[in-house]
Amino acid sequence: MGQYLLGIDIGTSACKAALFSSDGNVIANALCEYPVYYPKQGFVEQDPNDWWKGTCSSLRDISEAMKERGISPEEIAGIGIDGQGWAAVAVDGKGNVLCNNPIWLDTRAADICKEINIKIGSEKLFELCGNPLSPTYTTAKILWYEKNLPDVFAKTEKILQSNSFIAMKLAGTVSQDICQSYGYHCFDMRKGVWDFDMCEALGIPKKFLPKIYACHEIVGTLSKEAARETGLIPGIPVAAGGLDAACGSLGAGVLRAGDTQEQGGQAGGMSICTDEYLCDERLILSFHVVPGRWLLQGGSTGGGGVMRWLERELGSPLTKNDRLPEKKVLEIFNEMAAKVPAGSDGVVFLPYMAGERSPIWNPNAKGVYYGLDFNKTKGHFIRAGMEGVAFSLRHNLEVAQHAGASVNELRAMGGSANSLLWTQIKSDVTGKPVVVPASDTATTLGAAILAGVGVGVYSSFEEAVDKIVVIKRKHEPNAALKSIYDKNYEVYRKLYEKLEELFV
């Protein structure tokens, strides 16, 4: 058996791929960006074919890196895939994509959700699947197809998730992993099976729903055609994979009840591992990629994407005018934000840059800066942005604790965890210690672990995590800043309450 594992991450902004040794060391990694489309207000789309192109490009780069290191493709034991959640990739009987995919930020189906919640009953839906019906979920997007794209709906053979679409392209197998099934409101979150009575009530054809697989289950092997396109060889086992946040949680060592991941990718949020069914209508519930576990999640639209937006709008002029092209923009941002005191001199930011998911579930919510005057600087915008994302995290954690979850420390992952300042702010705002494993590769590592368990490189998930997840640093909350952040958090909560009626 080969000693290397390949992880593929279908993110919002790019496909990332990484090759790991069985002890978790990164041998090679690659990235290929692809576009996000915003055709109308509330519409946020991607072309799944771009995901596949990005996957092929990334894997070809990995293949070239392997050649340089003298590693043969025969030494790859397995491939795992993770991806963004709540996709609704409509494909025909030949696997052709029928339309662009509304991604997790898309809110076009808000009116449909209102109708269905009244028709079927929001309480009945929540009782079955542990999640409220909102426009960002897979369910709403399928129903939107039926109403607005009847030709697409009629031609659809299967609805796929981002990782299952890539699994199909790699191995030819149509699959649905148990973790990503949380996007459907005809999925029984207690039993882990489709509820076909609810499927019928919703008007979703049964044939749309693929067979459900365990996330580490091998669904097929790399086909000859896919091998040609990726630069690999046929026959490499492919695991079903799972949600990016869940794979990232695994890659960060979130395995046992109470372990908690703090997400710092494009989106923000947290995932708390539980060994019992535990839900709250203000949060998100899914199966973990680890059998017998659930993840109680808080998902914010504001995360690392806030810094991407600030970088786009403030970054280019900043580097040009300050003549610091040799420094990365985000490094400069950290330096500027560090010069601003905790609490940003009263500037408070609502990070609702694409509506907001948990815990307020308002697709019309807007990003807001409060407390500006002529004394405020770019550094205030940046630091308040970091603090606003941290306030969103705290809000989700408080709701989860109210639901009965217990959180002792956070395990940070994603690009935001590379910022020592931002990570410390999150610790100070939440009052929780934050530990940081290999944050940039946690998600692809989690996907690779799935393949490793699936093919037998590891005898169990416990063995894999104990062997390869290493903590790089730890942040303790600064008690001296508690009163400052408590005051701003109170303003943060009140701002939304006061402005909610204006968000239309």
pLDDT of 253-310, one tens digit each?
999 999 999 988 788 899 999 999 999 999 999 999 999 999 999 988 888 889 989 9
State the pLDDT at residue 265: 79
pLDDT reading at 363 higher than 70: yes
Q: Report d(CA 477, CA 418) in Å as an integer.
A: 17
Candidates 386, 377, 382; CA nearest to 268 is 386
pTM: 0.90
pLDDT reading at 201 higher than 90: yes
Please report, rounded to a whole number, the percentage of residues in the chain having pLDDT higher than 70: 97
| Burial of 108 per CB tally in 10 Å (0-12, 13-18, 19+) | buried
State the pLDDT at residue 329: 81
Average pLDDT over residues 151-174: 98
Classify 163 as helix, strand or coil: helix
Spans of all domains in the chain: 4-244
For the segment(s) 4-244, the CATH number from 3.30.420.40, 3.40.190.10, 3.30.2270.10, 3.40.50.720 is: 3.30.420.40
With contact defined as beta carbons under 8 Å apart, do 83 and 241 qualify? yes
Please work out, in degrees rounded to the nearest 5, the angle formed at the alpha carbon of residue 373 by the alpha carbons of 371 and 374. 160
pLDDT of 332-362, one tens digit each?
999 999 999 999 999 999 999 989 989 999 9
Average pLDDT over residues 142-164: 98
Average pLDDT over residues 377-401: 97
Distances (CA, A) of 24 to 94, 288, 452, 470: 37, 21, 11, 9
pLDDT of 97-137, one tens digit each?
999 999 998 999 999 999 999 999 999 999 999 999 999 99
Distances (CA, A) of 497 to 248, 400, 500, 501, 503: 32, 20, 5, 8, 11
Please report, rounded to a whole number, the percentage of residues in the chain having pLDDT higher than 90: 88
Q: Report d(CA 3, CA 306) in Å as an integer.
A: 39
pLDDT of 42-86, one tens digit each?
999 999 999 999 999 999 999 999 999 999 999 999 999 999 999
State the pLDDT at residue 451: 98
State the pLDDT at residue 302: 87
Please work out, in degrees rounded to the nearest 5, the angle formed at the alpha carbon of residue 316 by the alpha carbons of 310 and 321. 120
